[in-house]
Amino acid sequence: MRAFEYVSPTTKEQAVALLSSTWGETEILAGGTDLLALLKDDIVRPRRVVNIKEIAELRGISFSMPAGLRIGATVTLQELLDHPDIARHYPALVQAARGVTSPQIRNMGTVGGDLCQRPRCWYFRSGFGLLARDETGRSLVLEGDNRYHAILGNEGPAYFVNPSSLAPALIAYGARLRIFGPRGTREIPVERFFRIPKSEAEREYDLQPNEIVTEILVPPPSAGMVSATYEVRQREALDWPLATASVALVLEGQRVRSARVVLGHVAPIPWPSPEAERALLGKTVSEEVAQAAANAAVQRARSLGKNEYKIQLARVAVRRAIQQAVGGGARR
Amino acid sequence: MEKQRLKTGSLSRRDFLKVSGITLTVPLVVGPRVLKVAGAEVKVFGPGKVPMTFTINGKTYRAELEPRVTLLDALRNEFDLTGAKRVCDRGTCGACTVLLDGKPVYACSVLAIEAQGKAITTVEGLMQDGKLHPIQQAFIENDALQCGFCTPGFVVACKALLDRIPNPTPEDLVVGLGGNLCRCGTYVGIRAAIAQAARMQRGG
Amino acid sequence: MAERNAMEMAEYKWPEPERRRLIGKRISRVDGPEKVTGRAKYTYDVNRPGMLAGKVLRCPHAHARIVRLDTSAAEKMPGVKAVLPLKKVGDEILWAGDEVVAVAAVDEPTAEDAIRAIVVEYEKLPHFVLDTDPKAAGERVRPTAEQVEGDPDAAFREAEVVVEGLYGASLITHCCLEAHGAVVEWEGENNVLVHVSTQAVSGIAGQMAGPLGVPAGNIRVKQDHIGGGFGSKFGPDSWGIAAAQLSKMAGGRPVKIMLERDAELMVAGARPSYYGRVRVGAKRDGTVIAWESETWGTGGIPPTSPLPLPYVLRIPNQRKRHVAIVTNSGPARAWRAPLHPQACLLTMAALDDLAAALRMDPLDLLLKNIELAGERADVYREELQIAAELMEWKKRWHPRGDPSPGPVKRGLGVSIHTWPGRGHACRCDLTIHPDGSVEVKLGSQDLGTGTRTAIAIVVADTLGIPLEAVRVRIGDNQYPPAGGSGGSTTIGGVSSAARRAALDALDQLFARIAPLLNASPDQLEAWEGRIRVKEDPSRSIAWEQACARLDGMPLTVRGENPGPGELTTAGAAGVQMADVSVDIETGIVRINKMVAVQDCGLIINMKTAESQCYGAMIMGISYALYEEKIMDPATGRMLNPNMEFYKLAGLADIGELVVHMMTGEKYDRRGVIGLGEPPVISPGAAISNAVANAIGVRVPFLPLTPERVLEALAKKGGSHARV
């Protein structure tokens, strides 16, 4: 780890003023579970680290009808899990957080940090950059071992998968992010927060270097909503999922009135699947309908050479998440 | 020597202004500088050594450390509290588990500077009045250890689990102990130790 | 004394069952309290006064030549005390992570800064890290001579059923939780103190003497505890020597170099990969008559040796070919039971496939051919029956392919294994103090197997005193030399030497006490804290009072192994069975249950013996399902030198484990046999067979990842793998 200076502001205004407007010069410290690894691996080399855990307004969870749910950015995954209203109204979120089977990570890791953590791509973590190119410009992902890389949204030049545990569920619930920066507060849907970088200069999310995520706002659950997250994970011990799916369906009687299906760990961004959603709309969920939606979700998937199996896993995740949401099917 | 160190590791005043674009109210000196930002004064620590104070197992410890030093390295290298181990050093294996304000965390992934003002409990602090904690006793009796390198982290993680859930189910163990790894393969003993400690704490 | 020894020769044996108060019982380890409280000090925990932090700059390329090396900036940095190039311009690097420069500085951050200030330029050279296909390896293959026994061609012609299969196990690493490393300091010009994480306390000084230019006798080696070795920690390693050299350069100040986790996984040892095509020929009744195998694999640069094939069962007609593939994958080292897990997989999987082709229960096939196991055939037969009962095999086994509906398929697998495990050369000094306390000193080490406890048990039981009265001192090369802990040789060596020492010490004590009790020395025995006359226990003296007769002088006796009386032998046999569930939609394998039935002769401590088996099964589950040193064809680097993607099984990944140790007169009379290796051999084969039984198709290679399981399913039946 290289030397840096450390500040711990107590307001978001201070925090933003302490952040550089250029990427790389400053880093935000929340839970630290990702940042410290990035520092140790020399992937980020900030001159200043800005701890945002002392900012009171970034904390806390509140829920009410009809306002919905507000989660402060530095709320930990464990605080999220322990909140009775979230457990009652947002099962897909709880299931996603439970998939992080390390209590240490859940106690440290924050909701904002979960959204802003950097990809686990082993080339990125070895210092080859977000786009994992060698000095001649060729993609190491395509030349090398891509067993954990993207099967969707992988037209290039980015092939990593988004590592967020919570984003698919948050997107399925239609959550929005509140972001604070030098020009004040802005709000965007979580879905639009993530993007596929086109060059090494771009980040994988819509955040300026001197902006911070302050809150996550989740709409109240609609009447008739059922939701679930299904993770395909090799180990029960702390392990990155190979594919996940979060679904939120609004049922009218037996029929699907609206559907959100979002895949995780399969693309450089959390991957909403309008194809799967269309396959569900107006239908009564049966095994065949769930299967059709699952097939639709991976219709555009393609292997990079060593990750074809992930197409199958993504399909299974979607089908099982749908079945879990409507109360049937296999639970992991 | 100290001065030279600071120079190599720190920002020059000009660099600093370029980074932050804000007013520097105090020149670069040893000790925390103060920046005036957003109408308030914010202390800037480092990048050189900073005096720090910790509360570990109920006692006060002081050291001068750079902000980049992790809590784990501070415990082990400054205070000779070597129970927490450095194994993966990337927040995966759990060998460095300590309690921060009662909650288990990976000490390798916490900066020492941010652990100030919190109650830090290490494996060395689990004995009460010279007596082993029930989970420690149960580890011994159920041979929940071999080489012992993961053991302190597991002991602390198990203690934290039992504090939260006095009678954990197998499902609780999946979510409650998924953050620690053992290479010798002591999990059968650890499961038995948790069951025994849970019984002991119930007074059984 | 010569007369006594002659008389007592016959007495060098283990006590009869009724005379064992501790041996074979469940004894908690004596160093448990230190370990659960964090007080136990490992090499990594050694903080010496004035200690410097050592760091190593490593080459990022798998194959390269150094064209420029400039350490001047690092040397000038404040706080940097020594910079030591380990390579020079022109040197060729043969694996990523190889050591280039070592530095010592006042603390770790400063040492890291110094490493970053060193400039090295490399000329990159072509690398090669692929090991699964010898045809793709070009000139990097190193064939070994074909081995033939009997007449394999005739036997295959005679065979009524022939099966052919592809099997293998990927390159894996040791992943010791305590990384390799040492803390070294000079005391004056000629004396060196070394704290080192090692499996061979008595063997380190001899390996450091040459490189350091001091007599081995001037090198003091210490280690209280070691955080795992598994075969990878027998030498000081280049970084241990570098720590010593840096210390000398820094005026003798202690220098600590412990490997970072990435280096630990990249360069501190790996278990070679082995793959093979195997043909087995049999008669229709299951009698196996012919074996043919072509194997290949890599352990980095030195060529891998042929496997002991066919494993355990000596099939009369065989032909074996092996081709080593030389790669830039990094160094291989002995990994718990070297060559055996791979040989076991290739053999037991092939026999399992033969059973499937014959529509036979593989358990019956093994029993049918068990005489091929030679002198242990009876033991295997007995163990297979016990394992079958514990697994309810006959009730639960089904032919290949679980016919039940739903995506989760269940299956059973079986495997058998063997390992020599005779005790190594070992000496110990046993001292009885006039206050009745007893000390045993030997230059051995406790890898977590419970060596300290086992020695204490043997001595306490022999002297008839409580365990707490015995203090075992190990981990110092100033104690009598003991062998390295490898190949399951430690328990046999230390227990035999300790037993002999204790028996001899007792004889000497008896000689002093006999007149007091109006008896001859040979009429005495030590029992429950007293020395008494065998025929008339009322004539006795308390242990402490007896020791007080030592005239204030401690009594020290040397015990050795080998020595008179056969206290340790070789040849452990074991059986394991696995019950797994496979989700055929995801390819994820979960362990429901495993059973280990194991013989290791006379058991010293049942509690730690069982722990060896539990631990070995868990390590086996890890390498069967998760572990792979993933080498990148593009960069030649290990892609997962961390514990995030180098996956170990966690507490919830292991299912229910059952251990049954073989005990009784038949096993006791063989003396003590090592147990570290045997139970880690079979899990891969048993789990692979269980998966094949569940899903109806062989997944050729370990680890059995979702990717490989789905691929095997797809090859089997196309649509089967698709949902």
| Residue with the two structure tokens 């008839």 | C464
Residue C312 lies in a domain: no
Kindly give the residue spans of alpha helices, DSSP state H, lying in C91-150: 108-117
Same domain assignment for residues C468 and C593: no
DSSP C333-398: ---SSTTHHHHHHHHHHHHHHHHHHTT--HHHHHHHTGGGGGGGHHHHHHHHHHHHHHHTHHHH--
Single-letter residue type at C163: V
**In angstroms, rounded to a whole number, what is the distance separating the alpha carbons of residues C187 and C189?**
7
pLDDT in the model for residue B201: 85
Of B86, B64, B91, nearest to B76 (Cα)? Answer: B86
Q: Is the pLDDT of residue B5 over 60?
A: no
Same domain assignment for residues C587 and C453: no
Query: Do the chains contact at B37 and A14, CB–CB below 8 Å?
Result: yes
> C513, C539, C561 — which closes off a domain?
C561
Give residue-wise pLDDT tens across range A67-97: 999 999 999 999 999 999 999 999 999 999 9
Of C600, C307, C337, nearest to C486 (Cα)? Answer: C337
Same domain assignment for residues C19 and C65: no
In this structure, is the dihedral angle defined by the CA atoms of residues C511, C517, C518 and C520, taken in order, positive or negative?
negative
Query: Is the distance from CB of B152 to CB of B84 less than 8 angstroms?
Result: yes
Question: Could you tell me what percent of chain C has a pLDDT over 70?
Answer: 98
Query: Do the chains contact at B40 and A6, CB–CB below 8 Å?
Result: no
List CB contacts of A168: < 8 A, sequence separation 6 or more.
A96, A229, A244, A245, A246, A262, A263, A264, A270, A271
Query: Do the chains contact at C633 and A143, CB–CB below 8 Å?
Result: yes
User: Mean pLDDT over residues C278-294, rounded?
Assistant: 98
Domain ranges (residues) in chain A: 225-325
Of C647, C632, C643, nearest to C97 (Cα)? Answer: C632
Q: Is the pLDDT of residue B16 over 70?
A: no
Query: DSSP letter at A206?
Result: S
Q: How many CB atoms lie within 10 A of CB C259?
A: 23
Helix (H, G, I), strand (E, B) or coil at C617: helix
Same domain assignment for residues C457 and C416: no
Q: Is the pLDDT of residue C97 over 90?
A: yes
Query: Do the chains contact at B114 and A21, CB–CB below 8 Å?
Result: no
User: The tokens of C144 are what?
Assistant: 């070994």
Report the CATH number at residue C371. 3.30.365.10
3-state helix, strand, coil in chain A (%, to 5): 30, 25, 45
> C533, C561, C589 — which closes off a domain?
C561
User: The tokens of B42 are what?
Assistant: 């914010």
- H helix or E strand, kind and range, residue A314: helix A309-325
List CB contacts of A113: < 8 A, sequence separation 6 or more.
A30, A31, A33, A34
Strands A5-7, A48-51: pairing kind = parallel
Name the domain count of chain C: 3
User: Mean pLDDT over residues B42-58, rounded?
Assistant: 97
Residue of A nearest to B24 (CA): A18
Residue C297 lies in a domain: no
**In angstroms, rounded to a whole number, what is the distance separating the alpha carbons of residues A114 and A280?**
29
If interface means Cβ-Cβ distance under 8 Å, which residues of chain C face chain A?
109, 112-113, 116, 407-408, 585-588, 625-626, 630, 632-635, 637, 639-640, 644-645, 647-653, 705-707, 710-711, 721-723
Domain ranges (residues) in chain B: 2-44, 50-122, 134-201
Query: Do the chains contact at C647 and A239, CB–CB below 8 Å?
Result: yes
Query: Do the chains contact at A11 and B40, CB–CB below 8 Å?
Result: yes
Query: Is the distance from CB of A297 to CB of A245 less than 8 angstroms?
Result: yes
**In angstroms, rounded to a whole number, what is the distance separating the alpha carbons of residues C349 and C699?**
10
Query: Do the chains contact at C651 and A237, CB–CB below 8 Å?
Result: yes
Chains that touch C (3 or more CB pairs under 8 A): A, B
Going by CATH, does the domain composed of B134-201 fall within 1.20.1600.10?
no
pLDDT in the model for residue A8: 98
N-terminal to C-terminal alpha carbon distance within chain B:
61
Best mutation target, B183, B186, B194, to test chain C (most C CBs within 10 A): B183
User: The tokens of C579 are what?
Assistant: 């019950």
Residue of C nearest to A307 (CA): C707
Give residue-wise pLDDT tens across range C112-135: 999 999 999 999 999 999 999 999
Give residue-wise pLDDT tens across range C600-611: 999 999 999 999
Query: Do the chains contact at B147 and C225, CB–CB below 8 Å?
Result: yes
Counted residue by residue, chain B has a size of 204
Give residue-wise pLDDT tens across range B88-106: 999 999 999 999 999 999 9
Same domain assignment for residues C98 and C197: yes
Chains that touch B (3 or more CB pairs under 8 A): A, C
pLDDT in the model for residue B204: 60
Which CATH architecture best describes the domain A225-325?
A: 2-Layer Sandwich (3.30)
Residue C10 lies in a domain: yes
Using a CB-CB cut-off of 8 Å, the residues of chain C touching B180 are 650-651
Residue of C nearest to B177 (CA): C651
- Calculate the average pLDDT of chain C: 96
Query: DSSP letter at B75?
Result: I
**In angstroms, rounded to a whole number, what is the distance separating the alpha carbons of residues C675 and C603?**
9
Angstrom distances, CA of residue C592 to CA of A230, C583, C622, C657, C661: 22, 13, 14, 9, 21
pLDDT in the model for residue C551: 87
Query: Do the chains contact at B174 and C175, CB–CB below 8 Å?
Result: no
| Domain that includes residue C475, residue range | 2-25+423-561
List CB contacts of C686: < 8 A, sequence separation 6 or more.
C348, C413, C414, C415, C576, C577, C578, C594, C620
Same domain assignment for residues C601 and C690: yes
Query: Do the chains contact at C635 and A122, CB–CB below 8 Å?
Result: no
Q: How many CB atoms lie within 10 A of CB C552?
A: 8
Give residue-wise pLDDT tens across range C177-233: 999 999 999 999 999 999 999 999 999 999 999 999 999 999 999 999 999 999 999
Q: At what angle do helices C204-212 and C237-249 cross, to 10 degrees?
A: 50
Assign domain B50-122 one CATH number from 2.60.40.10, 3.40.190.10, 3.90.1150.10, 3.10.20.30.
3.10.20.30
pLDDT in the model for residue B4: 35
Is A302's Cβ below 8 Å from some Cβ in B? no
**In angstroms, rounded to a whole number, what is the distance separating the alpha carbons of residues C335 and C347?**
19
Maximum CA extent, chain A = 60
Tally C-beta pairs within 8 A across B and C. Answer: 185
Same domain assignment for residues C617 and C517: no
pLDDT in the model for residue B27: 38
pLDDT category, B22, cuts 50, 70, 90?
Answer: very low
Using CB atoms, pick whichever of B105, B110, B113 lies closest to residue A6. B113
User: Mean pLDDT over residues C678-694, rounded?
Assistant: 98
Residue of B nearest to C176 (CA): B183
Query: Is the distance from CB of A187 to CB of A176 less than 8 angstroms?
Result: yes
Best mutation target, A36, A105, A117, A122, to test chain C (most C CBs within 10 A): A122
Q: Is the pLDDT of residue B1 over 60?
A: no
Give residue-wise pLDDT tens across range C479-530: 999 999 999 999 999 999 999 999 999 999 999 999 999 999 999 999 999 9
Kindly list the averaged pLDDT for each block of 10 residues, start to end, along chain A of length 332.
97 97 97 98 98 98 96 98 96 97 98 98 97 95 98 97 98 98 98 97 96 98 96 97 98 95 98 98 97 98 98 98 79 34
List CB contacts of C586: < 8 A, sequence separation 6 or more.
A232, A312, A313, A316, C407, C706, C710
User: The tokens of C270 are what?
Assistant: 């790996």
Using CB atoms, pick whichever of A4, A17, A238 lies closest to residue B179. A238
Of A136, A17, A173, A202, nearest to C124 (Cα)? Answer: A136
pLDDT in the model for residue B15: 41
Same domain assignment for residues C400 and C414: yes
Q: What are phi and psi of C405, to 5 degrees?
A: -75, 170
pLDDT category, B30, cuts 50, 70, 90?
Answer: low
DSSP A231-281: EE-S-SSS---SEEEEEEEEEETTEEEEEEEEEESSSSS-EE-HHHHHHHT
Residue C323 lies in a domain: no
Which positions 34-73 of A are in contact with B (Cβ < 8 Å)?
36-37, 39-40, 47-49, 51, 53
Q: How many CB atoms lie within 10 A of CB A316?
A: 25
**In angstroms, rounded to a whole number, what is the distance separating the alpha carbons of residues A118 and A23?**
14
User: The tokens of A88 are what?
Assistant: 């009652």
Q: Is the pLDDT of residue C721 over 60?
A: no
Query: Do the chains contact at A232 and C640, CB–CB below 8 Å?
Result: no
Using a CB-CB cut-off of 8 Å, the residues of chain A touching C635 are 126, 134, 140, 144
Q: How many CB atoms lie within 10 A of CB C284?
A: 10
Helix (H, G, I), strand (E, B) or coil at C644: coil
User: Mean pLDDT over residues C620-646, rounded?
Assistant: 98
List CB contacts of C647: < 8 A, sequence separation 6 or more.
A234, A235, A239, C622, C626, C627
Minimal CA separation from C262 to chain B, in Å? 8
Using a CB-CB cut-off of 8 Å, the residues of chain C touching A319 are 723
Strands C588-598, C656-661: pairing kind = parallel
Residue C87 lies in a domain: yes
Residue C281 lies in a domain: no
pLDDT category, C11, cuts 50, 70, 90?
Answer: confident
User: The tokens of C268 are what?
Assistant: 């501190």
- Give the sheet arrangement for strand C119-124, strand by strand: C92-93, C64-70, C119-124
Query: Do the chains contact at C723 and A145, CB–CB below 8 Å?
Result: no
Q: What are phi and psi of C478, to 5 degrees?
A: -85, -10
Query: Is the distance from CB of C348 to CB of C276 less than 8 angstroms?
Result: no
Helix (H, G, I), strand (E, B) or coil at B117: coil
